[in-house]
Structure 1
Amino acid sequence: MTTTYNCSTDDQRALGLEHAQRAISEKKCVVFPTDTVYGIAADAFSPQAVTMLLVSKGRSRTMPPPVLIPRINALDGLATDVPADARKLAEAFWPGGLTLILHAQPSLDWDLGETKGTVALRMPADDIAQELLTLTGPLAVSSANRTGQAPAQTAAAAREQLADSVEVYLEGGFRPAEGEAAVPSTIVDATGPRLRVVRNGAVSLDQLREHVPGVLGLGEIPMAEEEPAEEEPVVAEPASVPAPEASGASGSSVVEPATPDSDTPAGNPQP
Structure 2
Amino acid sequence: MTVFPANAENIDKLAAVIGAGEAVAFPTETVYGLGVDACNDTAVAKIFEIKGRPQFNPLIIHIRDLAQAEALGVFSPIAKSLAEAHWPGALTLVVPRRSDNQAHNEVSLLASAGLPSLALRVPAHPVAQALLAAAQCPLAAPSANKSGQLSPTLATHVAKDFPNLPILDGGACAKGLESTIIGCLEDDPILLRRGSLDPAALEETLGHHLRYLPEDDSQTAKLAPGRLVRHYAPQAHLRLNAETIEAHEALLAFGTKIPSYAGLCLNLSPTGNLTEAAANLFSYLHELDAATHRIAVMPIPDEGLGAAINDRLKKAASSK
Instruction: Name the count of aligned residue pairs.
Output: 218
| Post-superposition offset of 1:162 | 2.1
Distance 1:145 1:115 in 2: 23
Q: Does 1:145 align with 2:103?
A: no
Distance 1:195 1:39 in 2: 26
Query: 2:37 matched to which residue of 1?
Result: 43
Query: 1:159 matched to which residue of 2?
Result: 159
Which runs of 5 or more residues in structure 1 are unaligned? 8-12, 221-258
Distance 2:16 2:189 in 1: 38
Query: 1:102 matched to which residue of 2?
Result: 95
Query: 1:132 matched to which residue of 2?
Result: 131
Q: Is the 8 A contact 1:194 1:214 kept in 2?
A: no
Question: What amino acid does structure 1 have at the position aligned with 2:12?
Answer: E
Distance 1:115 1:73 in 2: 24
Question: What amino acid does structure 2 have at the position aligned with 1:267?
Answer: P
| Post-superposition offset of 1:59 | 1.1
| Post-superposition offset of 1:201 | 1.1
Distance 1:90 1:75, change over 3 A: same
User: Map of 1:179-258 to 2, 5 A cutoff?
Assistant: 182-219=176-213
Question: What amino acid does structure 2 have at the position aligned with 1:96?
Answer: G
Query: 2:169 matched to which residue of 1?
Result: 171
Query: 2:274 matched to which residue of 1?
Result: none
Question: What amino acid does structure 1 have at the position aligned with 2:172?
Answer: F
Instruction: Tell which has more relative contact order, 1 or 2 (C-alpha 8 A, sep 6+).
Output: 1
Q: Secondary structure at the match of 1:163?
A: coil
Q: Secondary structure at the match of 2:3?
A: strand
Distance 1:60 1:260, change over 3 A: closer
Q: Is the 8 A contact 1:195 1:214 kept in 2?
A: no
User: Map of 1:65-84 to 2, 5 A cutoff?
Assistant: 65-80=59-74, 82-84=75-77
- Percent pairwise identity: 28
Distance 1:145 1:263, change over 3 A: farther
The alignment's C-alpha RMSD in Å is: 2.0
| Post-superposition offset of 1:4 | 1.7
Distance 2:121 2:10 in 1: 23
Distance 1:76 1:215, change over 3 A: farther
Q: Is the 8 A contact 1:195 1:215 kept in 2?
A: no
Distance 1:43 1:99 in 2: 18
| Post-superposition offset of 1:215 | 4.9
More helix by share: 2
C-alpha deviations, 1:83-132, integer Å up to 9, x for none? Answer: 10111110000000100000012322322151421100000111100000
Distance 2:199 2:119 in 1: 18
Query: 2:223 matched to which residue of 1?
Result: 265
Distance 1:162 1:204 in 2: 31
Structure-2-length-normalised TM-score: 0.64
Distance 1:31 1:215 in 2: 36
Q: Secondary structure at the match of 1:173?
A: coil
